[in-house]
Structure 1
């Protein structure tokens, strides 16, 4: 990335959107040319504080630094996507993200990992190309809802067995298989993981409001 190609505003600033490896947006702050230079040179994200009119490296007092992975400008070169590994919470409230409701109350927006969204998009494309001669996923879609539902039951049983055997690695592996096949079933029935998350969020909101 060439800083000279970026479009800083009239105050010499450009917004930086910080995202972690999981795709969670952690925070948004501003950078000037010096903050960008320090970020690239030190490997830790540095911003320009408009309120204090000073440079500040995220985590310089709290220790919750942002270790730089990569910086990408947007299509207009007037905003930056900063990929980073957080070394702790990113919000001053102690929450992972400034977009969480966290300690100040309220209900968090139902969040899903962007990777799961990409997986679901892939499953939809496999469903569109379902064939008994295709991939494992395509074959399951071709066999229909009964076959996919049976796989969900089988994988749920494997999760239970792995949990009883106190084998963490096997347990997580079987849980991943269960989630994969559950998403297959959701796609087969024209539903999505996001809708499931929204149902859970609604239940949480109801309990928080005194609902049973």
Structure 2
């Protein structure tokens, strides 16, 4: 449990609060808390902040329904910033995005991360992983992802196999549109499988990075 008395507020009585998805570790937003909102957050297990523009407390999701259930809270080594790990009940951003940090300002160099049409494909995969993780926990009615998790690993494996076969057929047919569509389906079902097996996408990407970093003679 966080020690409220240890938190160091600034001269305006505020402390920055970094809100992070407890499952995917994606940073959702940066807001500010005063003493009252910090106490309310601890007591209600939902995020409360202090609006600097309106000069009042606000309960995240009070009007939109996109509340954030607090799983854990921490402060940093200087005790002047708070990290709030949450289970989001919908988008964090008022624009409907999962995270407030969806505007790309700078991307990596081309030899580090490939970008296409102004977006980073790894960001798309990260967002998809976040949605899948949420479906695995919340299991909303009518969701195809919910259906897969409820059916279990055998159903998921069957779908991975079916989609892999569809990719092969599309490639043999030399159908570019069909191939891209089927590969997207395969990636989705593989990511569902990773979640079911509790394997993070970062772990797979780390293996690819390790292989890419190998010296040419290592491939001999």
Same fold (TM over 0.5): yes
Map Cα deviations across residues 92-112 of structure 1 (whole Å, 9 max, x no partner). Answer: 11101111139xxx9455537
Map Cα deviations across residues 135-159 of structure 1 (whole Å, 9 max, x no partner). Answer: xxxxxxxxxxxxxxxxxxxxxxx98
State how many pairs are aligned: 142
Range moving further from structure 2, 93-102 or 51-60: 93-102
Alignment map for 1:111-150 (pairs within 5 Å): 111=123
> Which residue is 1:134 aligned to?
none
Map Cα deviations across residues 12-59 of structure 1 (whole Å, 9 max, x no partner). Answer: 100000000201110010000100000000111000111111111100
> Which residue is 1:91 aligned to?
93
Determine if the alignment matches structure 1 residue 48 to structure 2 residue 44.
Answer: no
Once residues 14 and 80 of structure 2 are traced to their aligned partners in structure 1, the CA distance between those partners, rounded to angstroms, is 9
> Which residue is 1:30 aligned to?
32
> Which residue is 1:184 aligned to?
207
> Which residue is 2:163 aligned to?
163
1:190/1:164 Cα in 2 relative to 1: closer, same or farther (>3 Å)? closer
**TM-score normalised by structure 2 residue count:** 0.54
Classify the secondary structure of the residue corresponding to 1:41. Answer: helix
- Which residue of the other structure, out of 45, 59, 62, is the alignment partner of 2:61? 59
Q: Which runs of 5+ in 2 are unaligned?
A: 105-116, 130-157, 167-188, 215-220
Map Cα deviations across residues 165-192 of structure 1 (whole Å, 9 max, x no partner). Answer: 89x69x826x989x7677535413307x
Once residues 42 and 162 of structure 1 are traced to their aligned partners in structure 2, the CA distance between those partners, rounded to angstroms, is 45
> Which residue is 1:14 aligned to?
15
Q: Which runs of 5+ in 1 are unaligned?
A: 117-157, 192-212
**TM-score normalised by structure 1 residue count:** 0.56
**RMSD (CA atoms):** 3.6
1:182/1:57 Cα in 2 relative to 1: closer, same or farther (>3 Å)? closer
Greater CA radius of gyration, 1 or 2?
A: 1
Once residues 204 and 36 of structure 2 are traced to their aligned partners in structure 1, the CA distance between those partners, rounded to angstroms, is 49
1:39–1:45 CA contact under 8 A, matched in 2: yes
> Which residue is 2:6 aligned to?
5
Once residues 181 and 32 of structure 1 are traced to their aligned partners in structure 2, the CA distance between those partners, rounded to angstroms, is 40
Once residues 28 and 108 of structure 1 are traced to their aligned partners in structure 2, the CA distance between those partners, rounded to angstroms, is 22
- Which residue of the other structure, out of 193, 208, 217, is the alignment partner of 1:172? 193
1:187/1:62 Cα in 2 relative to 1: closer, same or farther (>3 Å)? same
